[in-house]
Amino acid sequence: MNKYLLQFMYDGTDFVGWQEQPKGRTVQGELQDKLSTILRQEIKVVGAGRTDTGVHASTMVAHIELPEELSDRIAPAVFKLNRFLPPDIFITKLQAVLPDFHARYSATSRSYGYYITLHPNPFLRKYHTFVPRKLQFEAMNRACKYLIGRHDFASFARKHSDVTNHICTVTQAEWLQLSPSEWVFRITANRFLRSMVRALVGTLLEVGSGQITPEEFADILERADLDFPFNTAPPTGLRLEAVQYPEELLGEVLFTP
C-alpha cells in the first residue's frame, strides 16, 4: 500500500462538518464518494482533524492509502477529482508520504484564524462574524499573551466529552487588523480541543467589551474549570489555515493545480 497526502480548501457554509455522518452533507463524505467513484474502489479519507458545522478551511490535510497498482493513476485521478467535486471544495496538492505518516497524529501544529467585522457587510456574512460594538483590541492582545505556552485548557473545553487530556501548547495568539473594520484572531498550537478556538474568541470578546479584564481572563485559564460557562463564538468566522508536519515524512509533490 502507498500513502498520499491530500491538501484542500473548502467553504463550510453548506456542510454539517468534516466528519461523515448518517445525515447531512460532509466534506469527508464528498471526498470519499467522488474519489471512490473515480478509482472504482472504496477509498477512506482520513483528516487532520474535525471542523464543525459552518467552519471553513483554507488549508485542510487528509491522507489516503492505495494499492501499489493504483500508484500511476492517483495523480490523474486527483486532477479529475477537482472537476467532479462541488464548487465548495478544491484540491490544492497531492503529495507522496512515508508509510508512518498520519494526517492527524503526525501533525506538529495547526493554525486557525477567526475573522470578525465591526460593520455589517452582506458580502462578508458567511466568512466573518459581525460584532456590533466597539472593542479594546489592546486589552484583547494583553489577554492573548497569557495563552502562550503549555496550559490546561479545560476552562475552554466541552464538558460532555470523552477527552480527558486538555493540555495544549500555544505558540501564537494575537489579534491583527486587516482593515479599518476587519480583524482576525490567529492562533497556532500543537493541538486543539473541540470548539476551543470559538470558546477562546467568545471570552476574548468579553475582554474587548470590558466585561472582564485580561487578568480575569488569565485566571479563567489558570483555573482549568470544566464547568466554566464560556460563550462560544459563532462558527461563521472560523477557518483552519495551516497544518504542519515533519519534513522527513513528506515525499514528492505529485499534483498541484
Identical fold for domains 2-105 and 109-241, yes or no, is yes
Residue 240 reports pLDDT greater than 90: yes
User: In 3D, which of 119, 153, 129 has the Cα closest to residue 205?
Assistant: 129
Task: For strands 109-117 and 56-66, give the pairing.
Answer: unpaired
Residue 241 reports pLDDT greater than 90: yes
> Please, what is the angle between helix 137-145 and helix 196-208, to 10°?
130
- Distance of alpha carbon 199 from alpha carbon 156, whole angstroms: 6
485566571: which residue's cell?
219
Q: One-letter amino acid identity for 230?
A: F
Q: Rounded mean pLDDT of the chain?
A: 96
User: In 3D, which of 93, 68, 86 has the Cα closest to residue 30?
Assistant: 86
Task: For strands 238-244 and 89-97, give the pairing.
Answer: unpaired
Q: Where does residue 75 rank: exposed (0-12), middle (13-18), buried (19+ CB within 10 A)? A: middle
Higher pLDDT, 6 or 231: 6
- Specify the range with the lowest mean pLDDT, choosing from 50-54, 115-119, 185-189: 50-54
Q: Return all residues near 135 (Cβ < 8 A) that are at least 6 apart.
A: 118, 183, 205, 208, 209
CATH of domain 2-105: 3.30.70.580
Q: Model's pTM, two decimal places?
A: 0.95
* pLDDT computed for residue 160 by the predictor: 72
30-86: pLDDT as tens digits: 999 999 999 999 999 999 998 999 999 999 999 999 999 888 999 999 999 999 999
160-179: pLDDT as tens digits: 778 889 999 999 999 999 99
Q: Is 52 a catalytic residue?
A: yes
Q: Which of 11, 33, 52, 162 is catalytic?
A: 52
Domain ranges of the chain: 2-105, 109-241
Calculate what percentage of the chain has a pLDDT beyond 70.
Answer: 100
Residues annotated in the binding site for substrate, as ranges?
A: 112
Give the pLDDT mean for 4-12. Answer: 98
Q: Are 32 and 43 in contact (CB under 8 A)?
A: yes
What CATH number matches the domain at 109-241, 3.30.420.40, 3.30.70.660, 3.60.15.10, 3.20.20.100?
Answer: 3.30.70.660
- Distance of alpha carbon 127 from alpha carbon 116, whole angstroms: 8
Calculate what percentage of the chain has a pLDDT beyond 90.
Answer: 91
